[in-house]
């Protein structure tokens, strides 16, 4: 498994220190060469991201100046002037040892000019979709981080489904009161979060798109925005759901990539939105197949209270995030029945193993065993089964006998949950494959939600042996 940890960032800092210790001239030349190569090969998304010394800036600037020469009209005149201004500052720094304060002052000047130039080029704008509680929480984190990241524009645009709340448009409330009073009340959003009711306008010119929307609405949203996406953009999905197609089961990143034709990563973990908003310590997992992009995504999300670990297993992170909601529904049934912690622990264990089995059955060796031990795996199962809204809704389902959709309206202010919907989609897949007997808990949860089975039937047929499960699909399946 390939992971990106704090060690990577420590090495970057060590390299910078080594450059300065060896003398500025050597550091500048080494950095210039690296920055130029990376800038030309991978464009602005790489030429600046991995270092802070002047050489990397020069690689970024030269990339755009070259593009302005070879592709007339690509770079606006005003942006070209700013690029030349950055280059002039870089070239004015003497290629000999200089005092650290002088170096820092020049670097600060370059960074300020860089931010203006990057904004003119229409790059480095974060887009957030949309403003449910998790979306608002993520926007808050990103908005705080981008002000500290010189390679990103300070403004974080968020798509808001326009609603009237207490006689005012929700976008107006967010932009003036800086609070999502409907979905994240009591928690202020930074002033650089801007609410926009048009999703296509939000993603226009954005290089980084964060997708947070109930999974049943994703295809409709993608149809609306696909014509407005930059070709060099990339996205990350915070959606905890999966999709069913005629070809079988697909993940949200696959659906997004298929429609938008851009790289897509995933984020999932033991992340209850209100607790994150209160800045209570937690962890999360980012699945990103490109180590360089993982650095960028981590810089956008990582905080002292929201700790990010990156793995290369994009699909595994997604599957864990989606399937744990089904287990949480089962845990809620146990709470509704009043059967206690021992019974609940048994359901969690069996549910976790069925998650693992289903993931392996669908994707085989693509999903890494260790992913289940990340925050997106076992940690998210535990927190969702004890504190999540899927658990709460399932408990009330048992106690009141009301349909899930009605309970959503009464208890969750109309927000949509994924657990019982994912249970339906999972059952469609395993039933189509003829393997429902290998997933008794998931099958029982589906029947309780949709077929009128009593909550006590959750225990039917749970004596399944998981000891022979392997990373590859079992021949028995």
Whether the CB-CB separation of 115 and 82 falls below 8 Å is answered with no
Query: Quick check: 288 and 312 in contact, CB under 8 A?
Result: yes
Half-sphere exposure (Cβ direction) of 163: Cα atoms closer than 13 Å: 15
Phi, psi of 454 (to 5 degrees): -75, 150
324 classed as catalytic: yes
In the numeric block, the tokens 């065993």 are attached to 369
Which listed residue (324, 402, 447, 451) is catalytic? 324
Distant-in-sequence, close-in-space partners of 262: CB < 8 Å, separation ≥ 6: 229, 231, 232, 233, 234, 235, 256
Collapse the DSSP code of 282 into the 3-class scheme (helix H, G, I; strand E, B; otherwise coil) and give the result.
Answer: strand
Distances (CA, A) of 426 to 159, 242, 399, 442, 443: 29, 8, 25, 8, 9
Count of C-beta atoms within a 10 Å radius of residue 86: 24
Residue 404 and residue 449 in contact, taking contact as beta carbons nearer than 8 Å: yes
Query: Which of 79, 13, 27, 78 is closest to 56 using CA atoms?
Result: 27
Residue whose tokens read 């993520």: 138
DSSP H or E segment with residue 196: strand 193-196
Rounded CA-CA distance 2/370 in Å is 11
Q: Is 332 helix (H, G, I), strand (E, B) or coil?
A: helix
Helix (H/G/I), strand (E/B), else coil: 51: coil
Rg of the chain over Cα atoms, rounded to whole angstroms, equals: 25
* Residues 94/98/102/103 CA torsion (nearest 10 deg): 80
**β partners of residue 179:** 188
Asked if 389 and 417 count as a contact pair (C-beta separation under 8 A), the reply is yes
Residues with active-site annotation: 324
């Amino acid at each position: 498994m390939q992971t990106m940890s704090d060690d990577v960032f420590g090495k970057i800092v060590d390299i910078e220190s080594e450059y300065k210790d060896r003398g500025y001239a050597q550091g500048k030349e080494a950095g210039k060469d690296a920055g130029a190569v990376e800038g030309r090969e991978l464009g602005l998304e790489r030429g600046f991201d991995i270092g802070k010394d002047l050489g990397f800036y020069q690689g970024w600037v030269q990339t755009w100046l070259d593009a302005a020469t070879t592709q007339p009209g690509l770079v606006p005149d005003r942006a070209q002037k700013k690029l030349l201004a950055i280059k002039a500052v870089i070239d004015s720094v003497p290629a000999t040892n200089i005092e650290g304060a002088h170096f820092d002052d020049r670097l600060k000047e370059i960074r300020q000019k860089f931010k203006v130039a990057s904004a003119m080029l229409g790059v480095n704008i974060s887009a957030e979709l949309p403003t449910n509680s998790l979306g608002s929480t993520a926007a808050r984190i990103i908005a705080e981080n981008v002000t500290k990241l010189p390679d990103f524009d300070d403004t974080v645009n968020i798509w808001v489904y326009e609603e009237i709340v207490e006689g005012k448009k929700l976008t107006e409330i967010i932009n003036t009161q800086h609070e999502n009073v409907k979905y994240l009340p009591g928690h202020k959003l930074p002033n650089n979060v801007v609410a926009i009711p048009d999703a296509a306008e939000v993603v226009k010119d954005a290089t980084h798109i964060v997708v947070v929307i109930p999974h049943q609405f994703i295809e409709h949203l993608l149809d609306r925005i696909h014509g407005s996406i930059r070709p060099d953009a990339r996205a990350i999905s915070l959606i905890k759901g999966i999709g069913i197609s005629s070809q079988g089961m697909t993940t949200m990143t696959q659906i997004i990539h298929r429609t938008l034709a851009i790289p897509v990563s995933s984020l999932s973990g033991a992340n209850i939105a209100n607790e994150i908003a209160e800045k209570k310590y937690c962890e999360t997992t980012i699945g990103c197949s490109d180590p360089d992009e993982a650095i960028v995504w981590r810089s956008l999300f990582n905080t002292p209270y929201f700790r990010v670990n990156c793995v290369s297993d994009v699909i595994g992170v997604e599957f864990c995030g989606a399937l744990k909601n089904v287990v949480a529904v089962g845990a809620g049934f146990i709470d509704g029945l009043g059967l206690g912690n021992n019974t609940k622990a048994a359901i969690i264990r069996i549910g976790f193993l069925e998650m693992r089995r289903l993931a392996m059955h669908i994707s085989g060796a693509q999903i890494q065993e260790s992913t289940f031990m990340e925050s997106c795996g076992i940690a998210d199962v535990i927190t969702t089964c004890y504190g999540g809204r899927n658990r709460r809704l399932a408990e009330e389902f048992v106690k009141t006998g009301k349909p899930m959709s009605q309970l959503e309206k009464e208890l969750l202010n109309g927000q949509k949950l994924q657990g019982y919907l994912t249970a339906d989609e999972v059952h469609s897949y395993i039933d189509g494959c003829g393997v429902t007997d290998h997933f008794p808990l998931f099958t029982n949860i589906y029947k309780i939600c949709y077929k009128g089975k009593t909550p006590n039937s959750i225990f039917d047929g749970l004596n399944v042996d998981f000891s022979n499960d392997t990373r590859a699909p079992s021949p028995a399946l």
